[in-house]
């Protein structure tokens, strides 16, 4: 019985922490809220009957307004007979292909397109190892998971493409965060592509996921985690305090800096009283539990900054 | 008559002949009576301390009688080297500076400890009746500067900051030209120093070497385990002890701004920058700061500003006036009026008394009891914007400053960072 309770508690905790990786619908089926077309003077997308349609030939591309680093980007797509489009990840809309990567969406063309340029490939960079169903005129589901160095692409529930980006030639200077987006109709006039059920699960809002980034050897991903931790704020404090008392020098240095940055942010004149209150509360709780003298001194210092009054 | 009073009364009259000091020094060489000699002790005998010893040991009226460093190897080396040059003098070596503070036969100290020790060492020296030649930056925190000044006044002591470029001909001449008004009213000054803190990697902590009193080295700073890069040579990379390359060089180049214009009414400080992401160091990899003074904008940048010739200067100051501009570094200046470029303006008359040398001027002050050029009042005011900029950098926001009360406006967290609660037992007592 006791074991069951513990197991149940464990499950609850893991479910709770998992639930912080919330999946958000990016497309409201009515209009292009959360999105922008670039360039904006050649509209390439419209909403028809709750579906996102890209029809005009070589019209604009469509990008999320928000930027994401690590996530699961999920959507359904339907290509016309010889349609050509793509999904864009970690992309700066101003230079989408230079900064980001296109995951290809393509009809089975004649001549035949190789595995480096077919649906599911990271176009021209990483080939599919498991070619997906390319039938046009029916809905397929694509899932793109960006997990720091690792990008995994699935079509209709089957993994097609796996990439570790630091081993891919041509990806050295790619962004590690950016908008997600869709290419307009890149096929012939009259061809089209449709999208529906577009959602994103942003890992960088999950304290547990972000904390793991503090141990990344690649400084860019470490810095990304630090930035995400500051924007998460108070809920990061428990995890960061733990890092302070551990032996990993890299994580410790990051935690020390980010704790300071969280406190600095919470004391800014334009920050809500609630965020400041939560930061102070978390610092106090961790100070009470701390067994290391130097960690306690640091938390005390931070608490003094956070609580300083006129 | 005690020694101190004797020095004061005879005073060697050096202030009367400031321009002839060099010649005068030669005449008195080897003939300085023991009672006229300044008995000096060095606290901190590492890189900069070694320089201090070299400089001060050359004056015939200085007798270096004690050395201290928390690193036994360093103090032994300094003692040995000095003893070989001055075999007749007994030189005591300590690892705890309080032995020097306690001695009644020492007139002055030269302090070249890491920044976080500057204020404590100086104030304890003042209290024990000693004058201080102290390294830059003046102090670790802004408030320490105030406490030092109070203590100096209370104990009637002499202080010179070690920003030795100050004493050179170039800075005096730049100040004369700026003050002459020939460039018109100066509305903008650009200061820069290239380079910043590097990350230093992620070294494991280790046991401090037996020759090093790590706890004493840390002193008022938070306790942390030892790793070599936190200590000798690279301690400025850490906010626990200093403020990076910016804090290291501010006093050298902001000096010419204060020497020339003594700007007043600072009211806004906006710093931007980044800490390194590839190591345990946390001070700026780069920092740009906009300072707004009453009637004057001052910009600090980590890359040279976009003005003629600046790209080849690793450090510099650029004054922009209504009628022309002046760009200078430690040794050179370039004046531009209209299309004319020149290295001097002979019509501007010599109005400032030249320094006999930064160290000589301190020694003269010890005797005359008249504060030297880079005295505590001057250097406190000159150093203050550096502290404020680092607070803006750390809090990542623009800060407004009330220069009369010397407090940030509506920002308690920023005001909290003007001082630090020192680790026990090193509290700075209110003097």
* pLDDT one-digit tens code per residue, B248-281: 999 999 999 999 999 999 999 999 999 999 999 9
Distance of CA A245 to the CA centre of its chain: 29
Beta bridge partners of B334: B327
- Contact call for residues B157 and B132 (beta carbons, < 8 A): yes
pLDDT for residue B26: 41
Range of the domain at A96: 21-204
Q: Are residues A38 and A174 in the same domain?
A: yes
Q: Both tokens of residue A19?
A: 């639930």
- Measured CA to CA, the distance from residue A17 to residue A212 in angstroms comes to 14
pLDDT of residue B5: 41
Whole-number Å distance between alpha carbons of A280 and B143:
25
The domain over range B3-165+356-373 is classified in CATH as 3.40.50.720: yes
- The distance of A295 to chain B (nearest Cα, Å) reads 10
List the 31-90 stretch of B: residues with Cβ below 8 A of A: none
Q: How confident is the model at residue B87 (pLDDT cuts 50, 70, 90)?
A: confident
Helix-helix angle A273-289:A249-266, to 10 degrees: 140
| Residues facing B67 on adjacent strands | B42, B93
Which of A176, A229, A267, A295 to mutate: most B Cβ within 10 Å? A267
β partners of residue A47: A52
Assess contact for A194 and A218: CB atoms under 8 A: no
Question: How far is the C-alpha of B251 from the C-alpha of B248, rounded, in Å?
Answer: 7
Nearest chain A Cα to B275, which residue? A257
A/B interface, count of CB pairs below 8 Å: 58
Q: What dihedral do alpha carbons B141, B144, B149, B152 form, nearest 10°?
A: -130
> pLDDT at residue B133 above 60?
yes
**A301 vs B contacts (CB less than 8 Å):** 222, 421
Other C-beta atoms closer than 10 Å to the C-beta of A247 total 9
Whether B424 contacts chain A with CB within 8 A: no
pLDDT tens, residue by residue, B161-194? 999 999 999 999 999 999 999 999 999 999 999 9
The answer to whether position A238 is within a domain reads yes
pLDDT of residue B86: 85
Cβ–Cβ below 8 Å for A219 and B278 = yes
d(CA A135, CA B74): 78
* Chain length of chain A: 310
For residue A64, being part of any structural domain is answered with yes
Point out the domain boundary residue: A180, A204, A228.
A204
Q: Between A4 and B250, where is the model more confident?
A: B250
Number of domains in chain A: 2
- Sequence-distant (6+) residues with CB within 8 A of B346 are none
The mean pLDDT of B386-397, rounded to a whole number, is 98
Query: Which residue in A46, A7, A47, A44 sits closest to A30, CA to CA?
Result: A47
**Which residues in chain B touch residue A308, judged by CB atoms under 8 angstroms apart?**
412-413, 415-416
User: What mean pLDDT do residues A151-177 have?
Assistant: 97
Q: Which residues, 6 or more positions from B232, have their beta carbon under 8 angstroms from its beta carbon?
A: B46, B47, B71
A216 Cα to chain B: minimum distance (Å) = 11
In a domain, residue A9? The reply is no
Interface check for A246 against chain B (CB to CB < 8 A): the answer is no
Query: ipTM value of the model?
Result: 0.91
Domain spans of chain B?
3-165+356-373, 167-354+382-416
pLDDT, residue A22, reads 86
Please check whether residues A138 and A36 belong to one and the same domain: yes
The set of residues, in sequence order, having a beta carbon less than 8 Å from that of B125 and lying 6+ positions away, is B101, B109, B111, B131, B132, B157
Q: Choose the closest CB to B223 out of A226, A293, A305.
A: A293
Based on the domain organization, do A276 and A195 belong to the same domain? no
User: Band of the pLDDT at B15, cuts 50, 70, 90?
Assistant: very low
Partners of B204 on chain A (C-beta within 8 Å) are 249
Choosing from A147, A174, A204, the residue where a domain stops is: A204
Contacts of A269 in chain B (CB under 8 A): 410-411
Bridge-based pairing state of the strands B108-111 and B38-43: parallel
Q: Are residues A191 and A301 part of one domain?
A: no
CA neighbours closer than 13 Å in the CB half-sphere of residue B157: 26
Instruction: Note whether A256 contacts B282, CB cutoff 8 Å.
Output: yes
Instruction: Answer yes or no: are the C-beta atoms of A83 and A218 closer than 8 Å.
Output: no
Q: How far is A71 from chain B (nearest CA, A)?
A: 23
Q: Is it the case that residue A129 has pLDDT exceeding 50?
A: yes
Residue A259: its H or E element: helix A249-266
For residue A279, give the 3-state DSSP assignment: helix
Burial of A269 (0-12, 13-18, 19+ CB in 10 A): exposed
The C-alpha atoms of residue A130 and residue A160 are separated, in whole angstroms, by: 5
Q: Which of A249, A268, A305 sits opposite B397 (nearest CB)?
A: A268
Residue A20 binned pLDDT confidence (cut-offs 50, 70, 90): low
State residue A127's pLDDT score. Answer: 98
- φ, ψ (nearest 5 deg) of residue B281: -65, 145
Tokens, residue B337: 């009026």
Q: Taking a C-beta distance cutoff of 8 angstroms, is the pair A306, A283 a contact?
A: yes
Interface touch B222/A267, C-beta < 8 Å: no
The confidence score (pLDDT) of residue A58 equals 85
Residue from B395, B418, B420, B422 whose CB has the most chain A CBs within 10 Å, to mutate = B395
Mutate to test the interface with A, among B416, B418, B423 (most CBs of A within 10 A): B416
H helix intervals, B67-189: 72-85, 98-102, 118-127, 142-154, 169-180
Cβ contacts of A223 on chain B, cutoff 8 Å: 277
User: What tokens does B430 get?
Assistant: 């209110």
One domain, residues A153 and A45: yes
Residue A281 lies in a domain: yes
**CB–CB of A249 and B204 under 8 A?**
yes
Nearest residue in chain B measured CA to CA from A265: B395
| Contact B204/A at CB under 8 A | yes
> Which of B226, B277, B391 is the best substitution to test chain A (most A C-beta atoms within 10 A)?
B277
Contact A253 B397 (CB under 8 A): no
Over range A121-126, report the average pLDDT. Answer: 97
Token output for A196: 């529906």
Q: For residue A240, tell me if it sits in a domain.
A: yes
> Chain A within 8 Å of B415 (Cβ-Cβ)?
yes
Say if residue A196 is in the same domain as residue A219. Answer: no
Q: Which residues of B touch A256 (CB under 8 A)?
A: 282
- On whether both A192 and A63 belong to a single domain, the answer is yes
| Terminal Cα-to-Cα distance of chain A (whole angstroms) | 55
Q: Is B398 exposed, middle or buried (0-12, 13-18, 19+ CB in 10 A)?
A: middle
pLDDT tens track for B199-224: 999 999 999 999 999 999 999 999 99
Nearest CA in chain B to A252: B280
Residues A198 and A220 in one domain: no
Q: Does position B4 have pLDDT exceeding 60, yes or no?
A: no
**Can you give the CATH number for the domain in which A119 is found?**
2.60.120.560
Same domain, A143 and A218: no
Percent of chain A with pLDDT over 70: 94
Residue A1, pLDDT score? 46
Number of helices (H) and strands (E) in chain B: give both, helices first. 13, 16
CA pseudo-torsion sign B353, B354, B356, B359: positive
pLDDT at B25: 44
Q: Which of residues 265-304 of A touch B (CB under 8 A)?
A: 265, 267-269, 293-294, 297-298, 301, 304
The whole-chain average pLDDT of chain A stands at: 93
Assigned domain for A8 exists: no
B205/A308 Cβ within 8 A: no
Rg of chain B over Cα atoms, rounded to whole angstroms, equals 22
Q: For position B430, what pLDDT does the model report?
A: 55
A228 within a domain of the structure (yes/no): yes
CA distance B244 to chain A (A): 15
* Fold of the CATH domain B167-354+382-416: Dihydrodipicolinate Reductase; domain 2 (3.30.360)
Q: Is residue A226 one of the residues assigned to a domain? A: yes
Q: Which residue from B280, B282, B413 is facing A305, i.e. has the nearest CB?
A: B413
Report yes or no: A214 at the B interface, CB cutoff 8 Å: no
Task: Find residue A25's DSSP bridge partners.
Answer: A199
Closest residue on chain A to B239 (Cα): A257
pLDDT in tens, A181-224: 999 999 899 999 999 999 999 999 999 999 999 999 999 999 99
- Say if the Cβ atoms of B412 and A309 lie within 8 Å: yes
**A8-22, B129-143, B345-359: lowest mean pLDDT where?**
A8-22
Residue B420, Ramachandran bin (φ over 0: left; ψ between -120 and 50: alpha; else beta): beta
* B402 contacts chain A (CB < 8 A): no
pLDDT band at B30; cut points 50, 70, 90: low
Are A250 and B395 a contacting pair at CB < 8 A?
no
């Amino acid at each position: 019985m006791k074991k069951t309770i513990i197991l149940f508690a464990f499950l609850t905790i893991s479910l709770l922490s998992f639930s912080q990786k919330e999946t958000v619908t990016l497309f409201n089926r009515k209009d292009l809220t959360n999105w922008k077309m670039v360039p904006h003077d050649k509209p390439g997308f419209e909403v028809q009957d709750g579906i996102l349609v890209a029809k005009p030939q070589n019209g604009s591309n469509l990008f999320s307004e928000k930027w994401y680093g690590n996530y699961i980007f999920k959507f359904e797509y339907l290509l016309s007979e010889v349609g050509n489009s793509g999904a864009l990840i970690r992309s700066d809309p101003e230079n989408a292909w230079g900064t980001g990567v296109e995951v290809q969406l393509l009809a089975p063309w004649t001549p035949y397109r190789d595995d480096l340029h077919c649906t599911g490939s990271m176009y021209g960079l990483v080939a599919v190892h498991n070619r997906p169903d390319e039938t046009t005129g029916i809905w397929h589901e694509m899932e793109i998971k960006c997990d720091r160095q690792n990008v995994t692409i699935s079509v209709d529930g089957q993994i097609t493409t796996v990439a570790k980006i630091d081993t891919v030639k041509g990806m050295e200077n790619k962004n590690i965060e950016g908008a997600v987006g869709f290419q307009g109709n890149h096929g012939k006039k009259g061809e089209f592509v449709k999208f529906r059920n577009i959602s994103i699960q942003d890992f960088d809002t999950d304290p547990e996921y972000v904390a793991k980034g503090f141990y990344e050897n690649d400084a860019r991903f470490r810095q990304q985690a630090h930035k995400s931790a500051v924007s998460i704020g108070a809920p990061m404090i428990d995890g960061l305090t733990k890092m302070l008392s551990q032996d990993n020098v890299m994580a410790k240095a990051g935690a020390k800096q980010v704790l300071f940055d969280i406190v600095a942010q919470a004391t800014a004149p334009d920050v809500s009283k609630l965020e400041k209150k939560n930061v102070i509360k978390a610092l106090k709780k961790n100070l009470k539990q701390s067994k290391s003298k130097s960690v306690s001194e640091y938390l005390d210092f931070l608490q003094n900054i956070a609580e300083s009054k006129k | 008559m005690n020694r101190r009073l004797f020095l004061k009364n005879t005073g060697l009259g050096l202030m009367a002949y400031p321009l002839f000091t060099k010649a005068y020094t030669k005449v008195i060489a080897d003939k300085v009576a023991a009672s006229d000699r300044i008995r000096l002790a060095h606290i901190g005998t590492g890189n900069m301390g070694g320089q201090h010893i070299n400089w001060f040991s050359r004056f015939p009226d200085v007798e270096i009688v004690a050395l201290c460093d928390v690193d036994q190897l360093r103090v032994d080396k300094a003692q040995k080297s000095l003893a070989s040059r001055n075999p007749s003098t007994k030189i005591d070596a300590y690892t705890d500076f309080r032995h020097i503070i306690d001695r009644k036969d020492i007139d002055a100290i030269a302090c070249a400890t890491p920044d976080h020790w500057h204020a404590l060492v100086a104030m304890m020296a003042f209290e024990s009746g000693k004058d201080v030649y102290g390294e830059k930056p003046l102090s670790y925190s802004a408030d320490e500067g105030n406490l030092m000044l109070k203590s100096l006044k209370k104990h009637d002591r002499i202080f010179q900051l070690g920003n030795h470029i100050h004493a050179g001909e170039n800075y005096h001449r730049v100040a004369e030209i700026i003050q002459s008004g020939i460039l018109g009213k100066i509305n903008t000054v650009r200061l820069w120093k290239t380079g910043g803190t590097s990350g230093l990697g992620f070294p494991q902590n280790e046991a401090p070497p037996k020759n090093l009193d790590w706890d004493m080295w840390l002193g008022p700073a938070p306790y942390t385990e030892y790793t070599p890069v936190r200590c000798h040579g690279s301690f400025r990379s850490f906010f626990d002890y200093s403020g990076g390359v910016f804090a290291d060089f501010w006093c050298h180049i902001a000096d010419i701004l204060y020497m020339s214009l003594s700007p007043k009414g600072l009211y806004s400080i906006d710093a931007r920058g980044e800490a390194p992401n590839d190591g345990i160091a946390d001070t700026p990899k780069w920092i740009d700061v906009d300072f707004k003074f009453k009637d004057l904008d001052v910009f600090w940048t980590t890359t040279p500003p976009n003005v003629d010739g600046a790209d080849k200067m690793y450090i510099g100051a650029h004054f922009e006036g209504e009628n022309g501009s002046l760009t200078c570094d430690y040794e050179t200046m370039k004046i531009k009026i209209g299309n004319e470029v020149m290295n001097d303006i002979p019509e501007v008359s010599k109005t400032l008394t030249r320094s006999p040398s930064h160290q000589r001027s301190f020694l003269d002050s010890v005797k005359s009891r008249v504060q030297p050029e880079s005295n505590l009042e001057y250097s406190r005011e000159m150093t203050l914007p550096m502290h404020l900029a680092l607070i803006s950098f750390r809090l990542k926001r623009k800060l407004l400053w009330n220069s009369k009360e010397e407090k940030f406006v509506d920002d308690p967290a920023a005001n909290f960072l003007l001082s630090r609660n020192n680790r026990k037992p090193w509290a700075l007592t209110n003097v």
